[in-house]
Amino acid sequence: MSAKIYWFSGSGNSLAVARMLAEKLPDAELIPVAEAVNNQPEAADVIGIVCPVYAWGPPALVVRFIRKMKASPDSYIFTVMTFAGSQGGAPLLLRGMLQDRGLDLHAAWGVKMPENFPPLGSAPAPKKQNEINGSADEKIAQIAEELQTLPRGSYEVSGGIWKIFSKIMYLSFRYFLSHRADRFFRADSNCNGCGLCAEVCPVGDIEMVDGKPEWKGRCEQCYACFHWCPQNAVQYGRSTKVRRYHHPRVSIADFQPQK
Ligand SMILES: Cc1cc2nc3c(=O)[nH]c(=O)nc-3n(C[C@H](O)[C@H](O)[C@H](O)COP(=O)(O)O)c2cc1C
Ligand code: SF4
Ligand code: SF4
């Protein structure tokens, strides 16, 4: 049985989940969505999609990947989506996208993890981060256990009404989640030109020009550049001098190569 787990992640939450699941599935291969979207791997018997929730929906890069993903109608497909407050009907939207391609989503789980969307404010304080990640680890272990039987029809999301709410939310935020929303990024005077923001970006949106990062309008809004800058020098708009966060078991090196 072949298994492929596709992951997309900004602050490392979803990558940490994907890794824990891959350890429990025999011969599971971990593949970054940012790489697979341009170079679709062959279909697998078991396919996992692990990513964050963005505005109650899947990230745009994941949507583009799903539209081309190689899978057979016999493939077992599951998703685990990480979120900070509410996942809304994100798994239902993802399921609809698969169904448009004649595929199905057989199971969906959600894992609550620390917030990483700076326009909404600071990431939680370190003690709170530990508490949230502790509960998340228990939940991921439970998911890994349940996955052993490849359950079908198991969705951790209530009612189709969520699909309608989520579609409205998703469409309302489309502008803010667009590639060009990166024009609000800037590096402040603490930037030392190390280039790590460009390295961690999954889609090559950042170019170093005269020792400073420039954002080039290909952004996927993952906020990796924001959270991983060692100098906390990346700012978004006017009000993002807030606490940064990344998952404690993930490092910048884990993000490469993605593109
Ligand atoms: C652009 C964006 C939109 C988000 N939208 C939501 C949301 O609708 N609901 C929610 O609970 N969390 C939302 N979040 C928070 C993330 O889903 C959450 O922190 C996730 O665990 C981040 O995972 P990652 O580190 O793998 O990127 C959003 C984060 C970003 C960056
Ligand atoms: S990671 Fe931070 S310090 Fe390094 S180049 Fe980017 S903005 Fe500057
Ligand atoms: S520019 Fe920053 S927020 Fe946009 S995709 Fe790259 S790392 Fe993510």
Q: How far is the CA of 155 from the centre of ligand 2 (A)?
A: 40
* Same-domain status, 186 and 80: no
Which residue's CA is the closest to the ligand 2 atom numbered 2? Answer: 229
The SS3 assignment for 66 reads: helix
Cis upstream peptide for 91 (omega within 30°): no
Instruction: Count how many domains the chain has.
Output: 2
Query: What is the rounded CA–CA span in Å between residue 174 and residue 168?
Result: 10
CATH number at residue 27: 3.40.50.360
Phi then psi dihedrals of residue 7, to 5 deg: -130, 150
- Which residue, 172, 202, 236, sits at the end of a domain? 172
- Which residue, 172, 194, 222, sits at the end of a domain? 172
Task: Supply the pTM of this predicted model.
Answer: 0.95
CATH number at residue 227: 3.30.70.20
* Smallest-distance ligand from the CA of 190: 2
H or E, element range at 111: strand 107-112
* Same-domain status, 62 and 93: yes
Residue 111 half-sphere exposure, CB side, CA atoms within 13 Å? 30
User: From first to last of its 259 residues, what are the pLDDT tens digits of the chain?
Assistant: 799 999 999 999 999 999 999 999 888 999 999 999 999 999 999 999 999 999 899 999 999 999 999 999 899 999 999 999 988 889 988 999 999 999 999 999 999 999 999 888 789 999 999 999 999 999 999 999 999 999 998 788 766 677 777 778 777 777 667 888 899 999 999 999 999 999 999 999 999 999 999 999 999 999 999 999 999 999 998 766 789 999 999 999 998 767 6
* Smallest-distance ligand from the CA of 247: 1
- Which residue, 140, 172, 204, sits at the end of a domain? 172
* Same-domain status, 185 and 121: no
Which residue's CA is the closest to the ligand 1 atom numbered 5? Answer: 54
Phi then psi dihedrals of residue 236, to 5 deg: -130, 115
* Same-domain status, 144 and 201: no
Q: How far is the CA of 46 from the centre of ligand 3 (A)?
A: 29
- Would you give the DSSP letter of residue 230? T
The SS3 assignment for 47 reads: strand
Q: How far is the CA of 178 from the centre of ligand 2 (A)?
A: 23
* Same-domain status, 13 and 128: yes
The SS3 assignment for 95 reads: helix
Range of the domain at 18: 3-172
* Same-domain status, 150 and 216: no
H or E, element range at 200: helix 196-200
